[in-house]
Structure 1
Amino acid sequence: MKLSAFIKTALTAAAIGVIGLSAAAEEWKLGHVLPPDHPSSRALEKAAAEIAARTDGRIDIKVFPAGQLGGAKEVLTGMTIGTHQMAFDGAGILSQWTKELGVLEAPYLAKDFAHLERLVASDAGQALLDKLRADHGLRVLDIWYYGTRHMTNNAHAIETPADVAGLKLRVPEVKLSLEFIKSLGGRPTPMAFSELYLGMQTGVVDGQENPLPTINAAKFYEVQKHLALTGHLVQFVAPIVSESVWQAASEGDRQIVSDVLQSVGDAYNASVVESEAALVATLEGKGMQVSHPDRAAFSKAVQPIFAQFEDVWGKGAYDALAAID
């Protein structure tokens, strides 16, 4: 009788434990605008699965690619009001919350991703991320290599800055991106990424600028003739979490999330570097005509626009970062 009572009590306690564990489970919605088969989206799915396994389901990250939860601005806005928990985006969009972050996307500032990592890890870079978190409750968990941006178009090959003149090029809704294209004589056209393929197919825009993995994954080679390796922007994209959601998780679970995102991110970064080296030939094989512009000439052409951003970025902010090797 006593043994039966003990077993019954134990089973009841176990059931309560399971209920408690279930109640503690958190679903974090992560929205982004990239295609489901983009390398970063696949890496996020892998990280989410590993995090769920290592936290015994306490943190269940659901990844929603291709703008399923809205555009980049909508997802980040949703994080600030509590409808979404995570995002995956870069400094350009984040600069609409913390304007000083825009300096990290100054054309030709970073030489490569390793250099960009050093810029972000510097005191100046960390101060920018701290401000984003303090002012808007958006915590950057890691930085991943989105790629180095290049131009494509349907009009003609781009060899010099003068070749950009008159081209209607889609850019993100970011002032620096707009001014960059203007400085080269182009006609910048903000457009949602999800609308870009059709926009190029129908001639609403002549072209766009994005990293090679994105150009390939989004199949832009189907609607674009010319690829110019301008290499004008080395860009990161970051897994971002709402600070309130982050603080609600246990310290142990937060460490698991950080560790997994870093390990998966490191592998993803290496894969992007490797794929970029091969993608030029891949895109040529898919019919794109590739040019190799003089990047020094492009860098020189864009320098004058930085002065107009000094009040936005902070006096001396660009020069401080540019001085970091």
Structure 2
Amino acid sequence: MTRCSAAVAALALWLTPGAGMAQTELQFGHVGNPGSLFSQSADEFAKRANERLGDDYEVVVYGSSQLGSDTSMLQKVKLGQVTFTLPSTVMSSVVPQFGVFEMPYLVSDREHMARIAEEVVKPMLYPLAEEQGYKIIGIWENGFRQITNNVRPINVPADLDGIKLRTPKGKWRVRMFEEYGADPSPMALSEVFTALQTGTMDGQENPLVQIYSQKFQEVQDYLSITNHVYTPAYVTVSANHWQQLPADVREVLESTAEELQGYVYEIAAAQDEELLGEMEAAGMEINEADQQAFVDASGPIYDAFAEEVEGGRELIDSALELAE
């Protein structure tokens, strides 16, 4: 098959209606389980978009890693085999500058993140994503991340010493936890429950809603509130294949993704409050970590990012300047 015919075949798959369906199916793949913020966000996006798209197109959501890991779905999006995906940390493995969101305690709250989205992500990071073949049409949320494990409560970085900690794929998260003294290993989200259950990993770090929806509270004893990183999530499509959709369809999808940002922030904040009680009821021991101790230990990772990533210092400074 020639490169041209392969591209045509991929586009045909991207825009072909499913069997027995009247509409063209626009697949939205993500790694979140039912009840997760990813699931709620993508389902609400599909509901709102489908109300406006008419009879020719339909957004269909495939969660729980049905279409693959974050990394594989990004590749499928680029090839035109999946329409949308919702990467978070993994974007830093595609565009190094997205690693700015791996910097601990960079984002102070969701209002700060909203300003960063408008003044840093869109003008500075969107174009870099397009250079790699991706178009971002919305900025949603993965959330403020916390640490769970089966060894001890984590109060200060020294408590992480020797703990085998699962992280998402992204070198800065790994380096951050190495700096704190842990033994971090990247792993696909779909593999984490078994790794925790069998002891292959002692712990992991994720937002509360991801922890709860993945049922990690069933195989973890300690939950430490560190808020060490805030991770956005990006509604991502293929820069090339996106242009093959009709202009009115693109407008509906892009405006719906944009307008959903406020909804995502609202339900995320509510879930952060509610889920602590659910975790405690599940038998987890919960502690508030000494966040200043983590901040104090984070200088080297900022310095390394600024030195190793082109434009890294400017990205850090631009984001921090937007804090109030």
> TM over 0.5: same fold?
yes
What is residue 110 of structure 2 aligned with on the other side?
113
Task: Show CA shifts across 1:180-225 (max 9, x none).
Answer: 1101100001111101001001100000000011111111110000
1:29 maps to amino acid: Q
SS in 2 for 1:141: strand
Match of 1:295 among 282, 286, 291: 291
SS in 2 for 1:95: helix
Counterpart-to-counterpart distance in 2, 1:48 and 1:162: 44
Give the superposition deviation at 1:50.
Answer: 2.9
Give the superposition deviation at 1:123.
Answer: 4.5
Contact 1:213 / 1:276 at 8 angstroms: preserved in 2? yes
Q: How does 1:1-325 map to 2 (within 5 A)?
A: 25-90=23-88, 92-123=89-120, 126-133=123-130, 135-310=131-306, 311-317=308-314, 318-325=316-323
Contact 1:147 / 1:236 at 8 angstroms: preserved in 2? yes
CA RMSD in angstroms comes to: 2.0
SS in 2 for 1:188: strand
SS in 1 for 2:231: strand
Indicate the larger mover: 260-269 or 277-286. Answer: 260-269
Structure 1: 4+ residue segments shifted above 3 A: 22-26, 262-265
What is residue 13 of structure 1 aligned with on the other side?
none
Task: Show CA shifts across 1:71-105 (max 9, x none).
Answer: 11100011112212211112x21122211111122
Aligned CA distance change for structure 1 residues 124 and 36 (closer, same or farther; 3 Å):
closer
Contact 1:124 / 1:321 at 8 angstroms: preserved in 2? no
SS in 2 for 1:148: strand
Counterpart-to-counterpart distance in 1, 2:120 and 2:206: 28
How many residues align? The count is 302
SS in 2 for 1:316: helix
Counterpart-to-counterpart distance in 1, 2:118 and 2:214: 31
Counterpart-to-counterpart distance in 1, 2:62 and 2:121: 32
Contact 2:209 / 2:275 at 8 angstroms: preserved in 1? yes
Contact 2:78 / 2:237 at 8 angstroms: preserved in 1? no
2:145 maps to amino acid: R
Counterpart-to-counterpart distance in 2, 1:59 and 1:115: 35
What is residue 9 of structure 1 aligned with on the other side?
none
Counterpart-to-counterpart distance in 2, 1:94 and 1:237: 9
1:66 maps to amino acid: S
Give the superposition deviation at 1:125.
Answer: 5.1
Contact 1:148 / 1:234 at 8 angstroms: preserved in 2? yes
Give the superposition deviation at 1:36.
Answer: 2.7
TM-score (norm 2): 0.88
Counterpart-to-counterpart distance in 1, 2:279 and 2:56: 42
Aligned CA distance change for structure 1 residues 128 and 258 (closer, same or farther; 3 Å):
same
Which ranges in structure 1 are unaligned for 5 or more consecutive residues? 1-21
SS in 1 for 2:143: strand
Give the superposition deviation at 1:150.
Answer: 0.4
Give the superposition deviation at 1:267.
Answer: 1.9
Contact 2:31 / 2:70 at 8 angstroms: preserved in 1? yes
